[in-house]
């Protein structure tokens, strides 16, 4: 195990300075080796009109700076491509057109360029981006190939999901200012070379607990955007818990109306209507993200019991709960009415959910006797199967009889778990969310203003330094479906706080899920990640300025037409750990709904 000494988290303050120096030295060396920016013969000139009002030289992005690390990166020095105002995005077919629309929507705000989407068969204007869907391409269901040459950028994939992931890579190869919501005078260069890429695991996700504190649709859509940036493809929504029931159920209307009316701390809570949920699911699907809905059973059900006291073991509705204890509530596993409730709720959720998974919780039902618990979970697994979905549960359901295809979400903190290993031998697959590495509700360090510490502190290095393929003893890599980073929200109350806890740790988990193990390297990851800070800042996102990461010095923003880019004014200097969380992180508006094809 990679457990580190207690006290490690009192990070040496000189570490970032040393890393910063090393980085500066690398860049200086790069500058000596590389041809002067824009001066090589085969490099196109910067876009006309942009050169004069360009106040600073372009920030250099290297082809290998991508997070998560691609499978193979082959830089070609001097083969940079520069995106110019007359560029078009060419597509090879209708399915590629939707991704091209998304790419155009990503690039238009900061560049101010029209970037029309055109057919690849039309005569080509020079210097554009081509997206090619080729079913014969050997990149797997999510992989892609990206080529940058002075003449253009080409992305090829066998599926729209692969093209979409390639687009996220392209985005990261442009200067950080590409994230600006307003036009910026910038030299829009991409480093030359080729990338071929595909994921290590098919399930790469994050969980948002919308039960402890409720988060409205715009906040959830924004989290989906964050997942998509880092090639995560599952959003697990923890929709119900003691403090709130957050999804409307037609056949049991009081669940959301009554059970959704509070949250931790006594706030008004809230819930998603069926249309809200459909909107979330559709927005996610456009970004190749599958929503995994969780109805936590038989414990964590106080909110349901407040709405329908008949489900409680004593038949009496308890008062609403706004604290943060766990393990005290449960639906009566000996009452047939409970199984009508389970079938109705899971049936409605299944009907609203296009993805294959239905998560039934199963954690911390401390007050239910083991035999009654096993009988309840077995029966509930059968209810899920009857809906046509595949059951997912927290690893507490491991001892229960196997159900076809079932997936256990493992949140242990020790790599020894014979009960889970046994369930795997009986056919279960695992999604790994180790509490002491992947729980993004844990504090970064003792002075982190929000978060838990029961699984220890999780700094960026701890989030990164583990291997999903070997983490649980007796569980072979081929039984691991993937990884997920849960964000529980007992202490997380706003969009800014969500982002502060996700960044920069979510990209670490994303890299574990996507990148080949051979690329795993903390020093390299930390340096690649550093360049993402300015991207998050330009996008108006909050993040923790972890002292482990050599964030680049601030670069004056090359504004054009007085671009109002969110500044980092509320972030301290890179060497000081950020302990305060900005209350406002940019436009309050929801991200625009995805561009329609």
Residue with tokens 């105002």: 85
Query: Minimum CB separation from ligand TNX for residue 212, in Å?
Result: 7
Residue 320 carries which DSSP code? P
Query: Minimum CB separation from ligand TNX for residue 231, in Å?
Result: 24
User: CA 70 to CA 65: how far, in whole Å?
Assistant: 9
**Which of residues 144, 164, 357, 488 is near ligand TNX by CB under 6 A?**
488
- Whether 490 sits among the annotated catalytic residues: the reply is no
Comparison of 132 and 409: residue with beta carbon closer to ligand TNX: 409
Comparison of 320 and 534: residue with beta carbon closer to ligand TNX: 320
Comparison of 439 and 466: residue with beta carbon closer to ligand TNX: 439
Q: Which of residues 451-470 bind ligand TNX (CB under 6 A)?
A: 452
Query: Minimum CB separation from ligand TNX for residue 394, in Å?
Result: 4
Residue 326 in contact with ligand TNX, rule: CB under 6 A: yes
Comparison of 139 and 359: residue with beta carbon closer to ligand TNX: 359
Query: Minimum CB separation from ligand TNX for residue 361, in Å?
Result: 7
**Which of residues 20, 417, 441, 527 is near ligand TNX by CB under 6 A?**
441
The 401-420 contact track toward ligand TNX, x by CB under 6 A, reads ----------x---------
**Which of residues 86, 219, 276, 364 is near ligand TNX by CB under 6 A?**
364
Q: Which of residues 376-395 bind ligand TNX (CB under 6 A)?
A: 394
Interface with ligand TNX (CB under 6 A), residue total 10
Extract the tokens encoding 147: 């080529």
User: CA 110 to CA 182: how far, in whole Å?
Assistant: 5
Q: How far is CA 432 from CA 141, 458, 513, in A?
A: 22, 16, 10
Of the residues 124, 257, 310, 364, which is catalytic? 364
Residue 363 in contact with ligand TNX, rule: CB under 6 A: yes
Q: Which residues pair with 189 in a beta bridge?
A: 82
Query: Minimum CB separation from ligand TNX for residue 213, in Å?
Result: 11
Buried b / exposed e across 362-401, counting CB within 10 Å, b at 16+?
bbbbeebeeeebbebbeebbebbbebebbbbbbbbbbebe
Comparison of 185 and 211: residue with beta carbon closer to ligand TNX: 211
Nearest C-alpha neighbor of 441 from the set 417, 428, 458: 458
The 490-509 contact track toward ligand TNX, x by CB under 6 A, reads x-------------------
Q: Which of residues 1-60 bind ligand TNX (CB under 6 A)?
A: none
Query: Minimum CB separation from ligand TNX for residue 343, in Å?
Result: 23
Please answer whether residues 172 and 55 qualify as being in contact, where contact means their C-beta atoms are separated by less than 8 angstroms. no
Q: DSSP string covering 326-343, please?
A: -S--B--TT-HHHHHHHH
Nearest C-alpha neighbor of 544 from the set 593, 521, 577: 577
Query: Which stretches does DSSP call E strand in 98-233?
Result: 117-119, 128-133, 144-149, 152-157, 189-190, 193-197, 203-209
Query: Minimum CB separation from ligand TNX for residue 94, in Å?
Result: 42
State the Cα angle at 465 between 324 and 436, rounded to 5°.
Answer: 20
Comparison of 392 and 403: residue with beta carbon closer to ligand TNX: 392
Query: Which stretches does DSSP call E strand in 198-285?
Result: 203-209, 234-238, 240-241, 244-245
Peptide bond preceding 504: is omega within 30 degrees of 0, i.e. cis?
yes
Residue 95 in contact with ligand TNX, rule: CB under 6 A: no
Comparison of 262 and 343: residue with beta carbon closer to ligand TNX: 262
User: CA 357 to CA 235: how far, in whole Å?
Assistant: 11
Residues marked active site are found at 364
Which residues contribute to the site for ligand TNX (CB under 6 A)?
326, 363-364, 394, 411, 439, 441, 452, 488, 490
């Amino acid at each position: 195990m990679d457990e580190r000494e207690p006290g490690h988290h009192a990070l040496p303050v000189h570490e970032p300075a040393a890393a910063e120096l090393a980085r500066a030295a690398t860049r200086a060396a790069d500058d000596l080796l590389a041809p002067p920016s824009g001066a090589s013969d085969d490099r196109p000139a910067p876009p006309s009109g942009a050169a004069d009002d360009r106040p600073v030289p372009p920030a250099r992005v290297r082809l290998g700076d991508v997070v998560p690390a691609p499978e193979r990166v082959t830089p070609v020095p001097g083969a940079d491509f520069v995106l110019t105002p007359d560029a078009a995005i060419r597509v090879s077919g209708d399915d590629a057109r939707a991704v091209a629309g998304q790419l155009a929507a990503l690039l238009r705000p900061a560049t101010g360029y029209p970037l029309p989407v055109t057919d690849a068969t039309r005569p080509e204007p020079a210097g554009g981006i081509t997206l090619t869907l080729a079913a014969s391409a050997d990149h797997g269901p999510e992989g892609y190939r990206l080529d940058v040459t002075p003449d253009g950028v080409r992305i090829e994939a066998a599926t729209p999901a692969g093209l979409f992931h390639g687009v996220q890579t392209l985005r990261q190869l442009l200067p950080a200012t590409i994230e600006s919501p307003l036009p910026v005078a910038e030299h829009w260069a991409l480093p030359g070379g080729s990338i071929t890429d595909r994921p290590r695991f098919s399930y790469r996700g994050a969980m948002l607990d919308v039960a402890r504190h409720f988060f409205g649709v715009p906040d959830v859509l924004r989290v989906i955007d964050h997942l998509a940036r880092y090639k995560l493809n599952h959003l697990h929504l923890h929709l119900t818990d003691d403090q709130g029931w957050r999804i409307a159920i037609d056949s049991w209307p009081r669940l959301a109306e009554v059970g959704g009316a509070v949250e931790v701390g006594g706030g008004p809570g809230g819930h998603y209507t069926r249309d809200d949920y459909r909107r979330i699911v559709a927005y996610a699907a456009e970004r190749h993200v599958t929503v995994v809905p969780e109805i936590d059973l038989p414990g964590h059900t106080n909110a349901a019991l407040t709405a329908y006291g008949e489900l409680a073991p004593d038949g009496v509705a308890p008062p609403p709960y706004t604290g943060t204890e766990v393990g005290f509530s449960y639906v009566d596993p000996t009452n047939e009415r409970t199984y009508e409730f389970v079938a109705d709720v899971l049936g409605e959720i299944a009907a609203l959910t296009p993805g294959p998974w239905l998560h039934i919780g199963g954690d911390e039902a401390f007050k239910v006797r083991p035999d009654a618990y096993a009988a309840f979970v077995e029966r509930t697994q059968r209810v899920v199967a009857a809906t046509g979905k595949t059951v997912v549960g927290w690893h507490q359901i491991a001892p229960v009889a196997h159900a076809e295809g079932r997936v256990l979400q493992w949140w242990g903190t020790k790599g020894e778990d014979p009960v889970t290993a046994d369930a795997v031998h009986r056919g279960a697959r695992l999604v790994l969310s180790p509490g002491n590495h992947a729980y993004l509700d844990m504090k970064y360090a003792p002075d982190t203003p929000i978060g838990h510490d029961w699984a220890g502190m999780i700094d960026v290095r701890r989030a990164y330094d583990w291997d999903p393929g070997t983490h649980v003893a007796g569980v072979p890599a081929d039984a691991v479906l993937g990884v997920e980073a849960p964000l529980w929200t007992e202490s997380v109350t706003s969009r800014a706080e969500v982002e502060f806890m996700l960044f920069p740790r979510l990209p670490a988990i994303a890299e574990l899920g996507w990148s080949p193990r051979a690329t795993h390297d903390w020093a390299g990851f930390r340096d690649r990640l550093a360049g993402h800070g300015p991207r998050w800042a330009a996008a108006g996102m909050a993040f923790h300025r972890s002292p482990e990461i050599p964030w680049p010095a601030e670069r004056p923003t090359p504004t054009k037409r007085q671009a109002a880019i969110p500044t980092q004014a509320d972030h301290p200097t890179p060497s000081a750990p950020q302990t305060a969380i900005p209350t406002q992180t940019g436009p309050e508006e929801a991200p625009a709904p995805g561009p329609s094809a």
